[in-house]
Every structure is written in structure tokens, then in C-alpha cells.
Amino acid sequence: MSDLLANLNTPQLQAVTLPSVHALVLAGAGSGKTRVLTTRIAWLMSTGQVGPHGVLAVTFTNKAAKEMTARLSTLVPINPRGMWIGTFHGLCNRLLRAHYREAGLPQTFQILDSADQLAMVKRLLKNLNVDDEKYPPRELCHFINAHKEQGVRAAQAEVYDNYTEKRVELYAEYENQCNREGVVDFAELLLRCYELLQRNEPLRKHYQARFSYILVDEVQDTNKLQYAWLKLLAGGGAKVFAVGDDDQSIYRFRGAEVGNMRDFEREYAGDNVIRLEQNYRSHGNILTAANAIIKNNRERLGKNLWTEAGDGEPIRCFEGYSDLDEARFIVEEIRELVRDGVSPTQIALLYRSNAQSRVLENELFTKNVPYKVYGGLRFFERQEVKHALAYLRLLGNPDDDTAFLRVVNFPTRGIGARSLENLQVTAHQMNSSLYNAAASLTGKAGQTVGAFIRLVETLRQETAGLPLPEVVEHVIEKSGLAQHYRTEKEGQERLENLDELINAAATFIDDEGAIGEGGALVSFLTLASLEAGEHQAGEGQGAVQLMSVHSAKGLEFDVVFITGLEQGLFPHENAVSEGKDGLEEERRLMYVAVTRARRRLYLSCAQTRMLHGQTRYCMPSGFLDEIPESLLLKLNKKAAPAPAYPAYVSFGGVYAEPAVAGGLRVGQTVEHAKFGVGVIVASEGRGADARVQINFGASGMKWLALEYAKLTPV
């Protein structure tokens, strides 16, 4: 027993050895929550309070479940394979397999993954002759899953208007089709299991009596139905031991309810709330910064991370003139770190939006620094980017059959597989490209494929003579790609990537100067092909890690760069527009990002960033202001030279006239008695209320009232 409890700190020991009570463990980042959870199970079994079959342990990922099982097998002399340890979906599947008759399922019921579900919905819409542009399949999947995660069947769904009524009707048809085919989707696993236990009293009482201890990992990520499922199983007297961190609740967009933790504290834990605040990952300055940021969220259960590891290095803060300048700084720092002996695998570049990776990838590629995109695809490999490039390739070379097949029916134009098979046979017989063979098609296939050919020809004519960024933007819009992704519930990220492709084209023109043979479009497509090649590090090769902050949760690195810390980007403008809840989720996301770093943390932003191929003038993220100045080592360059500004410029996405009251203008270099020489980058208000934002270089960005600033033009 002494070995089991050895090396636990006081709060950890208190949590592990609690008597038979409900409890909530607030486990801060890097505080050893997995260790506490597994040791708690081992202690309960070692002291004879419960047997292996009396424990139910719920995690959110299969990786976490496997890690818990592996650790448990080293702590107690049992075989944990038969224990009920797993994800919500995995445990519900196990229960439904054992009671398939009672659940109204065939014994061999199959589970639909997200791709299978989408395919079924598409098939359903086709069979019912429903317009899939008015009712996009992906959006309908999201509608169905969101209702199921709230515990709402089609029969109980609220109807607000004719459009909602039709979606509910389709939800009901989808339920019928799943029942006919004997299949369940992921959301159905949990809902079907919950309904079974709720209506079948003997079965419910059996499992309530079986599990005397229920342990829940990452409770802050539970949705409404998952929390209700846990309460149902605990209804027979089982003691629930919930571990989580409300400050790391970052999955609201997936239905996670951070309020479940407060509800659990009120309904179950009461005074049995234990805080794990000692951090074993990061140095003190990093934790102090994280604490300073997250304390600005109002509705927290509250904790304060600390460490015995010392303060460590200051947090390095860099403000570039542009996103390219920011990327160049980051890559140079990485090269210096690697020369100093830091392993590339221990360096992570984090960004709020996946579209930001493009500039970073380009600079890493240029400087020959191996990298890997964790949990996602490299920029030029992403579906929406490859679709746009395929259209562009057809403008330059209509005989490109690979590009033709990729987009001839995307977005959907009613061109079926049979029509394409016939076209390919015809092209082979004619020894021609698919594009040229299309003219020989007759009937409906001839009409639909012919319409696509006319679209490509129209795009070629309309873009002739346009600058490359405008060509890319026009094709994205007129091909129907942009509208297609606008109708998707989760299409915002894909639209951001398409915007970034326009930026890539603009940057390409700026960087290349003289364009090679074939013109700008051909040269740009060549670059895209090269960057989508094999530059990403191979298996086992040391490589810098690129990822979104959401993907970084649960990971840790010696060196972390948090990039793009600008208002509208991080915090993201979409979240901020949702009000307090959206901003607080963004702040939790920033807290997660900061606490990924062990030893060295970089925070970076840019004064300007490309948007739709044009320059956007940015304000530093408000999160930077929440970090005490004493923790920061500012690496800024001297004041930026005054850029050439267009007639209209963008401040955080809002276009405004660059003229400023007092005879000054945006882009003008001015001098201030205290802060020195700087450049006016933004303005707001008029008359006595006029304010300007000025980049003073080493002194940072400042908002000053014109009435009192006494600025002198230089």
C-alpha cells in the first residue's frame, strides 16, 4: 500500500484516499490527473472497497482509456481487460451489444462513422428527391447529431418555420432508414443506450447495483446527454469521482457544457472539491502568465497553478511588421534553437485557425526545416484548396484529366458515376482528353457535362488579363466553391483556407517579381505542387510540430510558439461576436495554448496580415495585455517604415477612410514626446473624440487621443 501512495503530493493523496463519497477533483494543466484517477481505482480495489467488476471508468479518447488500463495493470495484480474502462461511445456499444434485443437492434448491428453517415444522408436526399443545395447533407448530419446529443428525437424536435419542419421530417426519415438497415451512428450509440436504461427498470437497476464507483475523466467536456447518462447510472447509490478542469473546456462547438462541472459540484460533490494546483510541466513564469489570463473569466470554479521548478526564462514576445515577417522570425528562432541542441520534435507552432499554417509552412519549406502538421493536413493538401487548384489547373490546361475528374461534379451538378464512366470510355476511344470528349456526349449527360465545360470556358474568359490574386478569388467565387462551403455548418474553416489561397497568390506575385515561362498562373500552380510534395518530415525524422490550439490539448513541448495573437484572429472574431461566452471560451483556449510549454514560450503577432489578397491592419490580441509586463521579454524591431496604403484600408476587417482629424493620415510617420517615432496604423472617432493607433516599434502599439497626444509629423 505504501508503494501505491508513494510520491503523491498532499492534494493528490487526499483525492486518492477519499472515503466512499462523491467528489470533484479540479485538476490543473500538468497536475497529474491521470495518475490520480488510476491510483484512486487501484486504492479502492487494494483496500477491498470494490472489485474490478464494480468500477465504471469513462474517458473521452481511446488513447486515454488505453493509458488508464496500462497504468492500472502496473498498480494492482489484476487483469484490467474485463473492466468497464472506455469512452462513452465504447461503453455504450458494449452495453447495447449485450442487450441488443431490448434495445431493438439486430445482434450484428453496424456502426456508421461520420463518412458513412454522410453517405447515408446523401442517399436519403436523393431517394426523396430533396434538393441537396437547399438542405446540404453535412448540415443535415450536424442537425441530426446536435439533436441526439441533446437527447431529442425527431418526434420531440421543435419546429420554428417551414425550413425547420422539413429538416425534422428528414431527421425522422433518417431514423426510419437506420432502423430498417440495422445501423447506428455515433450519437445514436449514447442516445439508444440512455433510452434503454431509462425505460427498462430491471436492466437499469442491474447496472446501478453493479457499479458502486463511477470515475469520469475530463468531465468539463461532457455534453447534456453524457451528463444525463452518468446521472442515470449513479442513481442507485454509486459514488461518482469526477476529474476535470473548467479552465480547459474548449469544445463548446461540439456541444460540451462547461456548466456541467458547476452542476456536479452542486448536485453531488458539495464540500468534497479538491484542487490539484501543483504543476509538474511548466516553469513559473509560464504558469504566472496562464493564471493572469484565465483569472479574467468570471464563472470559474477557481484554482491557481504553481510549481517548484523555479521561474525559468521570461516569455518572449515578438511583433512583426507582417505575417511574413512573423513567420521569418519564428523560423530563424527555430533554427537557432536546433543549433543549440533543442530537438525539433520538442518545438511546436500553435495557431488559432488552420489557415494560418500556410505562411508558416512556406517559410519552413523555404528554409528547409522539416515539419509535420499534427492532427491535420498540410495547407496545399486540404480538400477545399485542392478543389480550387483543380479549377485553376483547368484554366491553364483543360486536358488535365485528374483536375477534370476532381471538380466536374463538385459542387454537385447531377453528373453521375455512369455518365463519367461513359465519358472515360469515349475519351479512350477518341484518344483525347475528357474535356475534349465531352462534346460527343448526348442526352442528360451531355447537358450536365456540357454545362461544366461552359463554366470553365466562362471562367477562362472572365479571368483573362486579371492579376493572379483576382483570378484565384474569381474562380473560388464563380465556380460555386465558396457558396458550397458557406452552406456547410462547419464550413467556416474551409472558407478561411480558400481566403488564404488568395493570400498565397498575392504573396507569390510580391515575392517572385519576374514570372517564369507559362505566366503567373502556371508558376503559382507549380509552386503549389512542390509545396504539397514530400517536404513534410518522414516517419522517425526529427521535425517541428505544427497544429491548431484545439489539436494541442493534452500535449506538451519544451518550446511553444503561439502565433497570430491579434484581435479578430485570437480571439477569433466569430467567437467574440457571440458575446461573453464566446470570449471566455477563447480565453480558455489561450490558457490551454500557454500551458503546453515546459521551458520556453514565444508569443507573436503581426501589424499587418493578408486577407482576401489585401493587407489587413491588425491590433494585438487583448490577451497580451492580460499578461504582466514583468514576465515579458520584448523582441520587437525598431519602428516600421511607413507603408504605402491603398485608398481604403482595413482595421480588423472594417474598411475605413485613411484620413485622420488634425491633418494627419493613416500611414503617416509621427513623433511623440514620450514614445518617440511611430507610424499611424488605425484611427477611430472624429473631432474631440478622435483617437489613433500608433506603432512605436520598441514601445509597442498605443492608442492615443488626438486632442492630448501632441503628435508631430516627421
- State how far the Cα of 242 lies from the Cα of 265, in Å rounded to an integer: 10
Separation between Cα atoms, residue 295 and residue 300, nearest integer Å = 8
Please return the burial class of 72, using the count of CB atoms within 10 Å of its CB with bins 0-12, 13-18 and 19+.
Answer: buried
Rounded CA-CA distance 369/454 in Å is 43
State how far the Cα of 45 lies from the Cα of 528, in Å rounded to an integer: 58
- Report the C-alpha gap between 356 and 672 in whole angstroms: 34
Prior bond of 314 cis (ω within 30°): no
Rounded-to-integer distance, Cα 662 and Cα 320, Å = 28
For 25, the enclosing helix (H) or strand (E) is: strand 23-27
Which of 12, 33, 226, 400 is catalytic? The answer is 33
Query: How far are the Cα atoms of 78, 502, 616 from residue 321, in angstroms, in the given order?
Result: 60, 20, 11
367 is catalytic: no
> Does 595 qualify as catalytic in the annotation?
no
Give yes or no: 150 in active site. Answer: no
Q: Which of 596, 600, 609, 616 is catalytic?
A: 596
- Examine residue 646 and say whether the peptide bond preceding it is cis (omega within 30 degrees of 0): no
Indicate if the alpha-carbon torsion angle 333, 338, 340, 346 is positive or negative. positive
Q: Determine whether 669 is an active site residue.
A: no
Instruction: Answer left, alpha or beta for residue 701, where phi above 0 means left and psi between -120 and 50 means alpha.
Output: beta
Catalytic residue among 149, 218, 319, 363: 218
C-alpha cell at 193: 443506450
Q: Kindly give, in sequence order, each residue whose CB lies less than 8 Å from that of residue 462, ignoring residues fewer than 6 positions away.
A: 474, 478
Which among 103, 200, 118, 228 is positioned nearest to 488, based on CA atoms?
A: 118
Which residue in the list 12, 59, 117, 248 is annotated as catalytic?
A: 248
In the annotation, is 218 catalytic?
yes
Q: In 99-239, which ranges are continuous DSSP H helix?
A: 114-127, 137-149, 162-181, 186-199, 201-210, 224-233
Whether 34 is a known active-site residue: answer yes
In whole angstroms, give the CA distance from residue 477 to residue 261.
44
215: amino acid identity, one letter = L
Give residues with Cβ within 8 angstroms of 670, minimum separation 6: 664, 677, 678, 679, 680, 694, 711, 712, 713, 714
- What are the residue numbers of the active site? 33-34, 217-218, 248, 596
